[in-house]
Chain A
Amino acid sequence: MKKEVIDRRRSLGERIVFGVAFAWFGIYSLSMILAIGWAFISSFKGNREFFSNPFGFPEVWRFSNYVEAVKVLKYKNVGFVGMIWNSIWMTGFGVVVGTFLNALIGYVFARFEFPGKKLMETFNIFIITVPIMGGGASGYRLQYALGLANTPWYIIIGAIPTIFGMGLIIWKASFSGTSSSYMEAATIDGAGNWTIFIKIMFPMVVPTAVAMGITAFIAGWNDYMTTFMFMDNYPTLAAGLYFYREELKYASNEPLYFAGAIISIIPPIAIFAFTQSQVFEKISLGGGLKG
């Protein structure tokens, strides 16, 4: 990526400030690297060695821990591979369907006038700023009462957006930034609304879609709360790791846990590292709450 830096000589004061910032960021980055590095090293130790020598290098590098982890990490008869599969489909479905539908809704708000639009937009701002928290218990009960919890239906219904929320602001801002002349030209050529959206408008916001999709996928991959609250029979990898420790408490094999953890963090880091430029600077709230 080309560096768009305005070529100017920084004053000494500025250089000191940037230098301090650089050092501070460097220390922070080091803490992150060391923390993850420690987890990585620990994953090669034996359990007893882990407790007797938690912060040194392993005497013997047990690569077998990784194989063991895949065999041992289970929750409710769902094995490691099963958990990866859960993570993939639960996240993937939600991301693909959710992103598309959210984009569609944002498009409709950005480009069409219809009765009730102003009301909904005002309501949206209200919902974003004032979180209504009275529905937690009721919502929890409802999912179980409707028989949605612990079934794939929870994910399917969950992927449908409820219109209101930050998503609406982001997508509306995204589509408002596109030119309407394409839409008009297509209409003149006889294209229907669906065609226009799928063939013309949605492709124009692919950068935003990709950015939202990637962030949503990573969030979903790391999600353990969904399993915890609603999908006990379908543990994701993150949930599996959590339950492994919780269930075994002091009997857990910590290096095995870290081996599983390291495996679980590879996909999101890899995806993110390669798509970083597509995610940052691509999501904007436009004019903010004023729309």
Chain B
Amino acid sequence: MNIFKKFFNKISWFLYDLNCKIFPAKKKEVGKFGRKKKILDTIFVYAVLIIPLIKFLGFWLYVNIEGLVMGFQNEKDGQIYWTLSNYATIFTQLIKGDGSVWEAYITTVKFQIYGIVLFPVGLFYMYFIFKKMAGYNFFRLMFYLPQIISAVVITGIYKYLINADGPIGILYQRLTGADRIPAFLAEKEYALTFVFIYQIWVGFAGSLLLYSGALARIPKELFEQACLDGVGWWRELWQICVPLIWPTLSIIIISFASGFLTMSGDILLLTEGRAGTTTLSYWLFDQIKFQNSYYLPSAMGWILTVVTFPLVMITRKICENVYKDVEF
């Protein structure tokens, strides 16, 4: 009998809890904070949101749905017709392993790997700046400089620096003893590496701003306590800083996973996609802007979206379980 009583008890509490969750107790509305205010509040909220919402519906929802539709269309002599050829082209290339789509795909994967490998390095940079090491103000400005200066200017400078007459070219010759200095950005062997070197040279600052904001939120007492407990810098970084800024870090990690980051700007400026430096996002850009092709990139865009979705969900799940979320 006891068992039944316990079981019945459990069920009733479960149902009660469920009831409370579905129909939560409402706060009593009183005076100035009563019904009239609620209505005024709702009007205010919708007045604020209505135009952005319209813009969203037009420039995001409609645009993406049209993009989906366009993936199944093509145009000939001004006539639009339905076809699966866009998807066929893309899949054939990916399966056969050749064609511009395939190359763009491989390049993108390489970029992602480099990015992931370099991610922890960014953490070190951020940590030392945060600890206000000697000259941190100046270094912070230096790291951020590439974000402040136009990419047009920096790529312009970079291209000359790696020229045959440039310091990098001469260094290369001295180190390898080659009889000629290659045109690094024009030759397939080197182009991608040098685009990537450029990325490393200018790339750290982007997340620096968010990291510094996240680190600033950590209560100082924690660091004082850690100091008193004799915690060294390595532990402080990996056991205090990283877990406590994990929400911010995971957003950045997830953006990596949804990868295919837009680097089309830099690639346009450095190589215009030549010599094997076209990534998928540059390929999309090139199709739309230079090839005036709209249907194939629409199909590709949706394939990318569908493929990234599970990747992102998995990464999110992993990130959520790495460190427990803490309120502070």
Listed in ascending order, the chain A residues whose CB lies under 8 Å from chain B are: 1, 3-6, 8, 11, 13-14, 17-18, 21-22, 25-26, 28-29, 31-33, 35-36, 38-39, 54-55, 101, 104-105, 108, 112, 114-115, 128-142, 157, 160-164, 184, 187-188, 192-194, 215, 218-219, 221-222, 224-225, 228-229, 237-239, 241-242, 245, 257-258, 261, 264-265, 268-269, 272-273, 276, 279-290
Determine if B67 and A280 form an interchain contact, defined as CB atoms under 8 angstroms apart: no
Pairwise interchain contact A21-B60, C-beta atoms closer than 8 A: no
Task: Give which listed residue, A54, A215, A273, contacts B163 with CB less than 8 A.
Answer: A54
Mind listing 22 A-B residue pairs with CB under 8 Å? A6-B223, A8-B227, A14-B233, A18-B233, A22-B133, A29-B142, A104-B48, A105-B48, A129-B254, A130-B312, A135-B301, A137-B294, A138-B70, A163-B49, A187-B32, A237-B150, A280-B209, A283-B210, A283-B213, A287-B247, A288-B246, A289-B247
B134 and A22: CB pair below 8 A?
yes
A58 to chain B, nearest CB (A): 15
Quick check: A276 and B301 within 8 Å, CB to CB?
no
Q: How far is the CA of A274 from the CA of B128 in the complex (A)?
A: 22
Residue B6 lies at the interface, judged by CB distance under 8 Å to chain A: no
Does A215 lie within 8 Å of B63, measured CB to CB? no
Interface size class of B (residues with CB under 8 A): 35 or more
Which residues from A are CB-within-8-Å of B125?
Answer: 25
> CB distance B44 to A133 under 8 Å?
no
- Asked whether B56 is an interface residue with its Cβ less than 8 Å from the other chain, the reply is yes
Check A138/B294 contact, CB under 8 A, given A131-B260, A164-B56.
yes
Task: Give CA–CA (A7, B139) in the complex, Å.
Answer: 22
CB distance from A37 to the nearest CB of B (A): 10
CB-contact partner of B67 in A137, A157, A285, under 8 A: A137
Note all chain B residues with C-beta closer than 8 A to A219. Answer: 147
Query: What's the nearest-Cβ distance from chain A to residue B86, in Å?
Result: 11
Instruction: Name the one of B45, B156, B288 contacting A114, with C-beta atoms under 8 angstroms.
Output: B45
CA gap between A276 and B148 in the complex, in Å: 11
Binding site secondary structure of chain B: helix
Q: Are A55 and B133 in contact (CB under 8 A)?
A: no
State how many angstroms separate the Cβ of A289 from the closest Cβ of chain B: 6
Contact partner of B217 (CB less than 8 A), chosen from A55, A225, A284, is A284
- B183 at the A interface (CB under 8 A): no
Are A132's CB and B163's CB within 8 A?
A: no
Q: Is B71 an interface residue (CB 8 A)?
A: yes
A114 proximity list for chain B (CB < 8 A): 41-42, 45-46
Nearest CB on B from A277, distance (A)? 8
A188 to B32 CA separation, bound complex (whole angstroms)? 7
Q: Are B67 and A134 in contact (CB under 8 A)?
A: yes
The answer to whether B295 and A137 touch across the interface, beta carbons within 8 angstroms, is: yes
Give the CA-CA distance A104 to B62 in the complex, in Å: 25
Q: Which of A108, A129, A282 has the most CB of B within 10 A?
A: A129
B41, B138, B144: the one within 8 Å of A112 (CB) = B41
Cα–Cα distance between A177 and B60 once the two chains are bound (Å) = 30
Top 7 closest A-B pairs, CB basis?
A288-B247, A222-B150, A284-B213, A134-B67, A134-B301, A134-B302, A281-B216
A14 and B232 form a contact (CB under 8 A)? yes
Q: In the complex, what distance in Å separates the CA atom of A235 from the CA atom of B325?
A: 46
Is A133 a contact partner of B284 (Cβ separation < 8 A)?
Answer: yes
In the complex, how many angstroms separate the beta carbon of A272 from the nearest chain B beta carbon?
Answer: 5
Q: Which of A21, A194, A238 contacts B133 (CB 8 A)?
A: A21
Nearest CB of chain B from residue A15's CB, rounded to whole Å: 10
